Amino acid sequence: MIGATISRWTMSYFAMALAWLFVALALMVAGLGYPAAHLASPDTLVLVHVVCIGWLSLAMCGALFQFVPVLVAKPLFSEKWALPALGLLTAGLAALLAGFLGLGGRLPAWLWLLPAGAVLLVAGFGLVVVDLGLTAWLRPQGPARFVLVGLASLCATAAFGAIFAFAHAGWAGSAGQSMLTSGVPLHAIAGLGGWLTLTAMGVSYRLLSMFMLAPDVDDRKSNVTLAAGAIAIAVAVVGGVLAIWLVAGLSVVLPVVGVFGLVTIALYGRDVLIIFSSRKRRQLELNTRMAVLSYASLAGAALLGVLLVMTGTFTTHLGAFAFLAVFGWLSGLVLAKLYKIVAFLTWLETYGPVMGRAPTPRVQDLVSEVRASKWFVIYHVAVWFGTLMLLTGHFQAFRAAAAIMTIGLVGIVREVIRTRRLADVESPLRLPDGACAPHLLCARS
Ligand code: HEM
């Protein structure tokens, strides 16, 4: 990453994403949406999209604007599109949420807000996909291929979402209506499995090798992992749409997707173990240790999914399964990597220009891992406790778990802000001659 240009708006995406994560946790603490309401209720849809679009998708887009150019060693197709995309996504999400609140009777039922939000979101995601896609396409190897499949899945997710939104407003005809009736699992699989999980896997290959000084995983191995994941998503999207069109139901498609999903997770686990065992840095940094906790949640979610299917209770406990996957695996990994990315970019931005001309601190001098680790542990333990409370039907205790997750998150965000402010760097090294303190919310251009 040294020598790469710094993406100006990555910090702004991260800040907005974290703000939405606080909103999601506040909703959970307040008892809005699942488990107090049904999974398909409008309140749950609000919660789901605050998390999936506001938190996870924005954080992922911010990370990709920095990393796709690094992955392919080429500049971003257009740096200028990142900020308008953030504006469109934020406005689109706000309109979508207002539409959902109208659907649930909490706001006037202006259902046109749903298609309006969908159009804004499609425009925002469209800018992101074209910008990152054209960049990754220049050298589609290794992790960049995961990103391309992730972006294709994002297109499918947004297309399904837009059809649902238009159908809710009564503007999508009978085909749109039957897609809304049966296609929601396909939208969720394309979004959580294809867009977020496959992209996170792809980026993690590069980040793990980079931060642990390990050789990259052999492309042949990671290509097999990606192929299994891409087949799962293709079966879900193409097979699922076909099944709905033929009025055949999803009872054949979903088990096939499940099997390929499990194979993908197993192959990814193998690849991650290879990186860990071939690393040169024996002492693991905090971001890697905390990523291990998110891997434990991924393995736990896979195991839980299998157990629930075998006992015929998957539908009953779908919420607990999704909660562990979304907050333990995806959010856990994003938080761990965000902690390190902020430190790395802040270091590069502040000390890169004066390197070799003045003494500079190490990246690790910008953080206090001992202080930060407890907040991550609190967060993860609270997620596992919350999953258990959902499984056992203790919904008040689940709200307490969400409150503890919030405490962990406040601690993590405080650490990230301290990093950005160089608060942990000793005075003589903090700002050598010629170095400028970074802005909190965006990089200096
Ligand atoms: C263009 C962007 C999007 C739009 C317009 C949109 C719209 C919608 C709509 C209208 C529904 C409700 C369907 C129903 O009434 O049952 C829905 C459900 C859902 N969406 Fe999205 N969505 C978008 C993006 C995403 C993304 C990026 C993700 C995940 C990464 C996602 C995850 C989900 C999930 C998991 C559900 C099911 C929630 C439940 O049943 O509780 N959506 N979406």
Q: Determine the distance separating the centroid of ligand 1 and the alpha carbon of 53, expressed in angstroms.
A: 9
Q: Is the CB of 165 under 6 A from ligand 1?
A: yes
CA distances from 45 to 42, 140, 388 (A): 5, 35, 22
Cis preceding-peptide flag for 35 (omega within 30 of 0): yes
Instruction: Give which of 345, 364, 365, 337 is closest to 425, Cα–Cα.
Output: 365
Mutation probe of ligand 1 site: the residue of 21, 38, 52 with most atoms within 8 A of C-beta: 52
pLDDT at 400 over 50: yes
> What one-letter code names the amino acid at 134?
L
Give tens-digit pLDDT for 179-234: 999 999 999 999 999 999 999 999 999 999 988 999 999 999 999 999 999 999 99
Give the CB-side neighbour count of residue 91, counting CA atoms within 13 A: 12
Q: Determine the distance separating the centroid of ligand 1 and the alpha carbon of 296, expressed in angstroms.
A: 26
Measured at the alpha carbon of residue 262, what is the angle toward residues 257 and 264, in degrees to the nearest 5? 95
Asked if 7 contacts 76 with a C-beta cutoff of 8 angstroms, the reply is yes
Q: Determine the distance separating the centroid of ligand 1 and the alpha carbon of 422, expressed in angstroms.
A: 39
Q: Determine the distance separating the centroid of ligand 1 and the alpha carbon of 124, expressed in angstroms.
A: 16
Asked if 211 contacts 289 with a C-beta cutoff of 8 angstroms, the reply is no
Mutation probe of ligand 1 site: the residue of 48, 61, 111 with most atoms within 8 A of C-beta: 48
pTM score of the predicted model: 0.97
Find the helix packing angle between 143-168 and 113-136, rounded to 10°.
170
Residue 153, burial from CB neighbour count under 10 angstroms (0-12, 13-18, 19+):
buried
In the prediction, which pLDDT does 2 show? 47
In the prediction, which pLDDT does 5 show? 80
List the single range of 63-77, 112-126, 147-161, 321-335 with lowest mean pLDDT: 63-77
Q: Determine the distance separating the centroid of ligand 1 and the alpha carbon of 165, expressed in angstroms.
A: 9
Closest protein CA for atom 1 of ligand 1: 158
User: What integer best gives the mean pLDDT of the chain?
Assistant: 96
Asked if 383 contacts 391 with a C-beta cutoff of 8 angstroms, the reply is no
Helices (H) and strands (E) in the chain, counts: 18, 0
Asked if 411 contacts 375 with a C-beta cutoff of 8 angstroms, the reply is yes
pLDDT band at 139 (very low <50, low <70, confident <90, very high): confident
Round to whole Å and give the CA distance between 315 and 312: 8
Give tens-digit pLDDT for 40-60: 999 999 999 999 999 999 999
In the prediction, which pLDDT does 1 show? 52
Q: Any idea what DSSP says for residue 79?
A: G
In the prediction, which pLDDT does 405 show? 98
In the prediction, which pLDDT does 428 show? 85
In the prediction, which pLDDT does 211 show? 87
Asked if 172 contacts 114 with a C-beta cutoff of 8 angstroms, the reply is no
Mutation probe of ligand 1 site: the residue of 187, 198, 331 with most atoms within 8 A of C-beta: 187
